Structure formats: structure tokens, C-alpha cells
Amino acid sequence: MSDLRRARFARLVRNALAELPMEFRDRIRNLEIVIEDEPSEDQMRDGATLLGLYEGVPLTSRGYQEPYLPDRICIFRRPIERMTSSPRRQAVIVRDTVVHEIAHHFGISDARLEELGLGDAE
């Protein structure tokens, strides 16, 4: 995989983060966002295609002043690239995936995301 292709994908993730409403961007705390080529075996579940994964303690579940390791969001490049070769479609999938995983950081469940019409990204 070329460095240019990886850099283009990283730019899609940065753009998706920049498009988040300011009230969410300002409230993100202790969160690392990384791009991985593929999910690890430990991260996989039910054989489903995994585009992103939130690992951590949602803000709504944290106790006051408890020490927490940084939360982590992984965005998986190859599964997204396998879905489509269209740069525009990839940008939409990345944006939806980033929004979905950031929502988990804020404590929004998959069921609530479905209600909001954001449940397709995994």
C-alpha cells in the first residue's frame, strides 16, 4: 500500500473530525484516534465487517476524578477501501464511521444511534 494512499485516508479521517459540530469537538477528552489497516482478531466480533471501534469508558459512565487511560477509536482502512473505490463514497463512509464511534465516546448506544439514523457504521 502506498504512503500516498495512506495519507489520503488519514486526511479523510481528519476532515471527518473537523466537520464535527464545535460543541462535540470541544467536549472530546482523553481520546486517541488511530488508523489501522485491519481489525485484530481480538477486535473482531460475529464475523461482521468492522469499519471502526471505540475502546474505552464513555463520558456518561465515568466517575468524578477517576483516573482513566485514554479512550481509543480505531478506524480500519482496508475494510472501508474494500467497500468502494470511489473517493467520495469512502469519504462518506469514513465520516459516518467517525461520527458513530465518537457518539460511543459520548455514551450514545447502538440502539440510540439506530433511532437517530446513524446505526449503519460499525
Looking at per-residue pLDDT, the higher value among 52 and 110 belongs to 52
pLDDT in tens, 4-37: 889 999 999 999 999 988 888 888 878 999 999 9
What is the reported pLDDT for 119?
58
Structural domains of the chain ordered from first start: 3-60+67-115 (3.30.2010.20)
Confidence of residue 91 (pLDDT cuts 50, 70, 90): very high
Q: Look over the chain and give the mean of its residue pLDDT values, rounded to a whole number.
A: 87
DSSP-assigned beta bridge partners for residue 35:
75
Whole-prediction pTM value? 0.85
What is the rounded radius of gyration, in angstroms, for the C-alpha atoms of the chain? 14
